[in-house]
Structure 1
Amino acid sequence: RFKTPQTIWRPAASLVEYPPAHTKVRRQYSSSQCQMMAPVLMRDPSSFALLERILTSTLHTASPPSLLPLITLLTSRINGSAACFNEQATQPGAWRRAVITLRQEDDDIARWELEPALTQAIQWLTRAPDRFSAAHFFPLLTRGVSSEQAINMLGWCGVCGWLNRLKIALGETY
């Protein structure tokens, strides 16, 4: 399913009919990273607003910007969210080489040598968060990022993973 770049997501729940009071909120988030999930998430506008704050927080702004697309790509690939992967793969600044590699089979990905410290940290945090440890964190610091940036990158990984799973649960990929 990752080899098909046309794979997209749509909400499984019937679309929400927005009451007039939600018009301002809907307009405010029309360009949001959650735009496709807005029909489902707008059932609770205050929760949606809080999610939007997380997505624009220092998790995003204080992380090395060049690595955010890679984190998003890796997390969605590990979680099996082809639609999230394809959304990120089409964004400007996406890691083109990474996109090609991550569309391959799992064995090909296992041999991938790009950003090994970050890749391993993301894999452990996404697949087995209970076994994530300092042994996975400290190699990020040797890469030249501050501890704050490393924590923010891992936080971004967690947010992306949660959104991947939410989309899988609330919609369908076709």
Structure 2
Amino acid sequence: MRELLCSVGIAAGLSVTSGAALADEPPRFSLNAMSIGVHGRTDAGLGIVEARAMVSSHLQLTAAPTIVAIEGGETEQQLRTAATLLLDLGAIRIDDRNLWVFSDAGATRYRNRIRLTHPVSLDGHVMRVQLLDEAFYENGGRGWFRNLFGAGLGFDFGRSVSVDAYWLRQDDDDARPTSLLILMLTAHLL
């Protein structure tokens, strides 16, 4: 029997960005503080401070001290570092994120996410159609232990608010596959 899990996440962020060289370029540097709450089978909370640097139009680097609190579990402190390769193929954007997670719980994890995004303009708003696949690896532990793939829609309402909805399928080595419905509201306060 398949299991369907519904999760609702709310993210609020505070961003400080440097100016871009050209109006249509992303900021060269940004500092973001986010708080994410997830309500589902197991409730969780994340606190993240992320520094993001655009090294070139094809490479983004991030570093993010993170606190993860999961209901019934120990609070975990993490340092997340990532290198994301970016490529525009006409109307399709591809990003390949290579994320390393160093945890005070003694685990080092690697996550590789490939995501295809097709932005569509609707009455002055932007809708993002996305497909993604993410593989998880734990060094010195389970090895390749999880694959997450799915599809989603996102809507940008100006520069301050976005709403995203995703269907994801999570396949773990030691558990039956789970389908997830995730709703995310993101608000940039500054």
TM-score (norm 1): 0.28
Which of the two has greater helix per residue?
1
Higher relative contact order (CA 8 A, sep 6+): 1
Structure whose residues are more often strand by fraction:
2
TM-score by length of 2: 0.26
